[in-house]
Amino acid sequence: GENVEQHPSTLSVQEGDSAVIKCTYSDSASNYFPWYKQELGKGPQLIIDIRSNVGEKKDQRIAVTLNKTAKHFSLHITETQPEDSAVYFCAALGGSWGKLQFGAGTQVVVTP
Amino acid sequence: DAGVIQSPRHEVTEMGQEVTLRCKPISGHNSLFWYRQTMMRGLELLIYFNNNVPIDDSGMPEDRFSAKMPNASFSTLKIQPSEPRDSAVYFCATTQWADTGELFFGEGSRLTVL
């Protein structure tokens, strides 16, 4: 089955700086890669996603890149703000229909 | 829409007791997933349903766990008997299209088994 590894597990950044989270996946058949943000006491919420036919996608201050050859994808947050503090999960979908494999999560702390 | 609704939000029980967690999916979403989240194991898929039919329950830890979806508006996850190692946050998530992977999560049920 799919295995997703996520790094780093924690990330502390100064407000205004950029944050980058990286994930690798094992199943070359995976074709959909979403990123979820989980705030304290809440369920994960989709913030951006990318499909295997696209190399990069951007939505305001967040962007995701995908390298299918290397089987890795990354989340980039620019001009970080305190409200970006949360746990971020990457995920990969492929092979088994309807099953997302999540990474272990990255705790992002943005300090003013 | 109010989103995915889970109850109870918090449950504290004693070992050996039965626990029932409930989920109301977003109207029109035909796939429903139960996840468990712990610090040690992260987000684990327990079971998912499509059109009220269980498709894959390979993530259910053992026979003490069972899940049902009697209709398109309601699902339950039951643990009987509960054990301290079942303590976790249990999430229900739903989607209209399971092959796109966009899941909408509820706010979770935090279970503590003493």
A55-94: pLDDT as tens digits: 999 999 999 999 999 999 999 999 999 999 999 999 998 7
Per-window interface: A 38-67 vs B, CB < 8 A = 41-46, 49
The number of C-alpha atoms within 13 Å of A56 and in the hemisphere containing its C-beta is 4
* Dist CA B84 CA B113 (whole Å): 5
| Residue among B99, B102, B104 minimizing CB distance to A97 | B99
pLDDT at B97: 75
pLDDT at A98: 63
Q: Is the pLDDT of residue B54 over 90?
A: yes
Residues of chain B with Cβ-Cβ distance to A100 below 8 Å are 45, 101, 103
| pLDDT tier, A96 (very low <50, low <70, confident <90, very high otherwise) | low
Q: Is the CB of B4 inside 8 Å of chain A's CB atoms? A: yes
Q: Is the CB of B98 inside 8 Å of chain A's CB atoms? A: yes
Query: Among residues of chain B, what percentage have pLDDT more than 90?
Result: 82
| pLDDT tier, B1 (very low <50, low <70, confident <90, very high otherwise) | low
Q: Is the CB of B58 inside 8 Å of chain A's CB atoms? A: no
* Contact across the interface for A43 and B108, Cβ inside 8 Å: yes
Q: What is the pLDDT of residues B62-110, one digit of tens each?
A: 899 999 999 999 999 999 999 999 999 999 999 987 666 688 999 999 9
First to last CA, chain A: 41
Residue A59: count other Cβ atoms within 10 Å of its Cβ. 10
* Dist CA A16 CA A31 (whole Å): 32
Q: Is the pLDDT of residue A95 over 80?
A: no
Q: Is the CB of B32 inside 8 Å of chain A's CB atoms? A: no
Q: Is the CB of B102 inside 8 Å of chain A's CB atoms? A: yes
pLDDT at B78: 98
pLDDT at A97: 57
* Contact across the interface for B42 and A46, Cβ inside 8 Å: no
pLDDT at A60: 95
What average pLDDT does this structure show over B42-69? Answer: 93
pLDDT at A92: 93
pLDDT at B94: 94
Q: What is the pLDDT of residues A28-38, one digit of tens each?
A: 888 899 999 99
| Residue among A34, A41, A43 minimizing CB distance to B102 | A34
To the nearest whole number, what is the mean pLDDT of chain A?
93
pLDDT at A2: 81
Contact present, A30 and A2 (Cβ < 8 Å) = yes
Residues of chain B with Cβ-Cβ distance to A102 below 8 Å are 42-43
Among B109, B56, B70, B105, which Cα is nearest to B86's? B109
* Dist CA B67 CA B92 (whole Å): 11
Count CB pairs under 8 A between chains A and B: 52
Residue A94: count other Cβ atoms within 10 Å of its Cβ. 21
Question: What is the identity of the amino acid at A90?
Answer: C
C-alpha dist (Å) from residue A44 to A81, B68, B90 = 19, 23, 12
Instruction: Name all contacts of B77-81 with Cβ < 8 Å and 24+ positions apart.
Output: B77/B20, B77/B21, B77/B23, B77/B34, B77/B46, B77/B47, B78/B18, B78/B19, B78/B20, B78/B21, B79/B18, B79/B19, B79/B111, B80/B18, B80/B19, B81/B15, B81/B16, B81/B17, B81/B18
